[in-house]
Amino acid sequence: MSFQNTLAYAQEQDQADTLRHFREQFHIPQHNGKDTVYLCGNSLGLQPKSARVAVEEEMVKWAELGVEGHFVGDTPWFTYHAALAGPTARVVGAKPQEVVVMNQLTVNLHLMLVSFYRPQGKRFKILTEAGAFPSDQYALESQVKFHGYAPEEAIIEVAPRAGEHTLRTEDIVQIIQQHGEELALVMMGGVNYYTGQVFDMAAITQAAHAVGALCGFDLAHAAGNVTLRLHDWDVDFAVWCTYKYLNSGPGGTSGVFVHERYAEDASLPRFAGWWGHDQSVRFQMKKGFIPMPGAEGWQLSNSQILPMAVHKASLQLFDEAGMNNLRAKSEKLTGYLEFLIKELNQPKEALEVITPEDPSARGCQLSLLVHQNGRQLFETLMANGFILDWREPNVIRVAPTPLYNTFEDVYRFGQFLAAHFQK
Ligand SMILES: *Cc1c(COP(=O)(O)O)cnc(C)c1O
């Protein structure tokens, strides 16, 4: 792809972008009366204008109908989650029966670990990526302790080779093979939150299964960002939040994938609640848990309608745009960002992109390792209407998203960096 470092070029790309009208469907935060350059959808996606309408609809329904809202209207609260299964399945490459929306991410990770981390005899270890998101580390540590193991013994971390920032699939596979019969579970991010690296989930799942282990992914940074084919990749389970690339609001609801081979498997241990109980007899309020088939059988509580209404509105935009179209634009947008950073011509000692160069090994985010005064650069950017995020010790994460970012956003960011490094 031949990019150009000019405003005219960026604006031409925006004109030619068939997804450009989606930006108007979002509220763009303002800075001095102008749109910010919002490159932080990896942390909190922007608000779709339709979200407020969707929440208001439910508020009106609650006001007018009270408890009756559970059973009337287009989307009765009783089965509200079911309306999200189709669009969710399309985002993560699953069958509708394999997904459910409920709770929040870390809660769901624990629920999945209850069912899919079942250490036995010498098969008790979990393999994960070094430097995983802290909540995932805490979840894994507390789960292995819950089963009576020491985290130092039970958790194996795969780290980058010396002098490298990202993991090699061959290393992950080799360590899986090395631990073989001791491995109960492989559980890692689909996209590493810090480096933006996309892991080869198909290869990792295959390697885990080959040694008799199960395999699950935290897709917090993957869902709505990269192409996922969870069913075809044969992944056992996955979890994700909806407030990052899925634009469903702070602390929003979360998604879960359970492969269909477990749909009717009543032998799996699980922590049960009434909303996972067979819907047709749920209100008989009887003893004896009978799980709903599929992922729905992991639900505990009745649906959180307000965050789910936001999510439903947001997923509608993903359906309208299509994940394939979004991904195609995303590769180009991030490619443009990478081009502009290379144009800065900075030595590696000053500025380094630690995200993989191969587009298939990254999503929209590039992580910039700023060796000197990174924090200061970050703060200057923020003070000038560029919204990004900072990760200790010295990384600025930049995430242009295809739904609401423009080539001009990326160009303006490049211009700002150019001025900064020329000083
Ligand atoms: C964002 C993120 C979380 C956050 O967990 P919550 O339970 O939603 O607060 C956890 N894990 C990963 C990998 C994340 O990126």
CATH number of the domain at 207, please. 3.40.640.10
Q: Is 155 helix (H, G, I), strand (E, B) or coil?
A: strand
Q: Compute, in angstroms, the gap from residue 133 CA to the centroid of ligand 1.
A: 7
Cβ atoms 204, 174 nearer than 8 A: no
User: How does 3-35 read in b/e, with b if 16+ C-beta sit within 10 Å?
Assistant: bebeeebbeebbeebebeebbebbebeebeeee
| Same domain? 31 vs 65 | no
State whether 305 and 330 are in the same domain. no
- Give the tokens for residue 200: 């080869």
In a domain, 47, yes or no: no
Of 111, 113, 241, the one to substitute when testing ligand 1's pocket (max ligand atoms within 8 A of C-beta) is: 241
How many distinct structural domains can be found in the chain? 2
Same domain, 116 and 183: yes
Please give the chain's pLDDT, 423 residues, in tens: 789 999 999 999 999 999 999 999 999 999 999 999 999 999 999 999 999 999 999 999 999 999 999 999 889 999 999 999 999 999 999 999 999 999 999 999 999 999 999 999 999 999 999 999 999 999 999 999 999 999 999 999 999 999 999 999 999 999 999 999 999 999 999 999 999 999 999 999 999 999 999 999 999 999 999 999 999 999 999 999 999 999 999 999 999 999 999 999 988 999 999 999 999 988 888 899 999 999 999 999 999 999 999 999 999 999 999 999 999 999 999 999 999 999 999 999 899 999 999 999 999 999 999 999 999 999 999 999 999 999 999 999 999 999 999 999 999 999 999 999 887
Do residue 91 and residue 64 come from a single domain? yes
Pair (391, 337) in one structural domain:
yes
pTM exceeds 0.75 for this model: yes
Residues 154 and 248 in one domain: yes
Q: How many helices (H) and strands (E) does the chain have?
A: 13, 15
3-state secondary structure of 157: strand
Same domain, yes or no, for 37 and 154?
A: no
- Whether residues 110 and 189 share a domain: the answer is yes
One domain, residues 92 and 171: yes
Query: Do 99 and 90 form a contact (C-beta atoms < 8 A)?
Result: no
Residue with tokens 């805490």: 138
> 49 in a domain, yes or no?
no
Contacts of 152 (CB under 8 A, 6+ apart): none
The verdict on 205 and 257 lying in the same domain is yes
**Which residue, among 294, 307, 315, has the nearest Cα to 100 in the 3D structure?**
294
Q: Which residues, judged by CB distance below 6 Å to any ligand atom, belong to the binding site of ligand 1?
A: 104-106, 133, 135-136, 189, 193, 218, 220-221, 241
Determine which residue's CA is closest to atom 1 belonging to ligand 1.
220
Does 227 lie in the same domain as 336?
no
Residue nearest (by alpha carbon) to ligand 1 atom 13: 133
Domain termination residue (choose one: 319, 334, 356): 319
Q: Look up the domain containing 414 and give its range.
A: 7-42+322-421
Last residue of a domain, one of 291, 319, 347: 319
